[in-house]
Amino acid sequence: MASIKERTYIMVKPDGVQRGLVGNIIARFEGRGFKLIALKLVHATPEHLEKHYADLKGKPFFPGLIKYMALGPVVAMVWEGLDAVKTGRVMLGATNPLASAPGTIRGDFALAVGRNICHGSDSVENAEKEIALWFPEGVVQHELTLSTWVFE
């Protein structure tokens, strides 16, 4: 059964920050009922980004991806809630924005796979790894009073 304590790592990429989409993306996760437990603006080094995307090393687009992600600061976030990993991916849309449904973040704001404005963990295991990589200092434990109204 999906856990209400599931966590996912969501990141607004440099193009999303430059295009002023941070608030819109946060509003979608807040509005859906997820709980924000970590957030920071960080201009990541290529070395850090290579760790984040280690699984993609060797792909032809890898060097371009690292350059793109190092162009400017990203907004790193951890969101918690029911089925957060899978639901977060659905909210992002397909990797290639041309295939993303309208109503998703990429489907509403992006056209190119190499400028697709957001990242979301693809499994609970990878979410844990990504959260540890981006937030070695840990996340904030807190209760939202609205939990009773979002979860049964």
Which residues in this chain contact ligand UDP in the complex, by CB under 6 A? 56, 61, 65, 95, 113-114, 116, 119, 122
The answer to the question of whether 29 is labelled as a binding residue is no
**52 among known catalytic residues:** no
Q: Is the CB of 83 or the CB of 150 nearer to Mg ion?
A: 83
Output b/e per residue, 39-59; b: 16+ Cβ within 10 A: beeeebeeebbbebeeeeeee
Residues with Cβ within 8 Å of 100's Cβ and at least 6 positions away in sequence, in order, are 92, 93, 94, 106, 107, 110
Is 89 annotated in a binding site? The answer is yes
* Cβ-based nearer residue to ligand UDP, 36 or 116: 116
| Pick 61 or 151: Cβ nearer ligand UDP | 61
Residues at the contact surface with Mg ion, assessed by CB under 5 A: 122
